[in-house]
Structure 1
């Protein structure tokens, strides 16, 4: 996992184990990209975390995918909670890498064996991934990770 030093909010940042558990259990993230004309775009997406990288499985005919292809810089937020004292989340940022064919049809790609197994089990309850020829993989190995857990405020 990327080493991150948070200057502000250290008291409410997640421990490495809390971060790992949170990213493993959550299903939906919000992906922020920038279009070629500079317009920001944020969209929800299912993901999987492998302990090092966040794997994004996106429709290839989406604005998000076009933005990422044009400029691989991305920020992703995974969050939870409704009331202020329940809020917790993680922001990950960096550049994505595109892994496997686009769109994904299931051609052998050893780099995708683990993320596809994790994704299929987490999101579909299936032992292996099915490929619809409309999605593809982008991997974010974050340069920066920032986390917060407002539930810790009660302990301060």
Structure 2
């Protein structure tokens, strides 16, 4: 994975990045559409410390795009109320499907952790719900860039 070269003064540490990605509710996912046009959508997600996991409708434009071209770019941010409170993370990488499509709950060891993380984040105290319409995408980042403008105050 490539490291951040510019903006080191405002870059998040690995610990800050992981905490931010564990807590943030929404990621914006950019895929490459037919003919190269971009497609942008917002989704819930989980971060396991090395990969970002999306539970996506398998009959969506996003899924169609990813089956054609696995390259994705993602942004997780919180807008803040002023310039010095802006912070976020951009990830670029490759998406791959994991488990059956659509997901119906067949045992898949690789999905045990992301499904538990997802349930804990979005419906605490409940088990992950399978609906037969979603599938799992694992995004392995090739590049991560972060910013936290509050660091300029220091």
Normalising by structure 1, what TM-score? 0.94
Matched with 1:142 is: 141
Cα displacement (A) at 1:150: 0.7
Match of 1:11 among 9, 12, 16: 9
CA–CA distance in structure 1, aligned partners of residues 42 and 53 of structure 2: 13
Matched with 1:68 is: 66
**CA RMSD, 1 decimal:** 1.0
Q: 77-86 vs 103-112, which deviates more?
A: 77-86
Match of 1:32 among 30, 33, 36: 30
Alignment of 1:27-106 (within 5 A): 27-82=25-80, 83-106=82-105
Residue ranges of structure 1 left out of the alignment (5+ in a row): none
Ranges of 4+ aligned residues in structure 1 off by more than 6 Å = none
CA–CA distance in structure 1, aligned partners of residues 61 and 27 of structure 2: 16
Deviation per CA, 1:5-30, whole angstroms, max 9, x where unpaired? 22210000001110010011111000
CA–CA distance in structure 2, aligned partners of residues 127 and 99 of structure 1: 22
Kindly tell me the number of residue pairs found equivalent between the two proteins: 153
Cα displacement (A) at 1:77: 0.6
Q: 92-101 vs 118-127, which deviates more?
A: 118-127
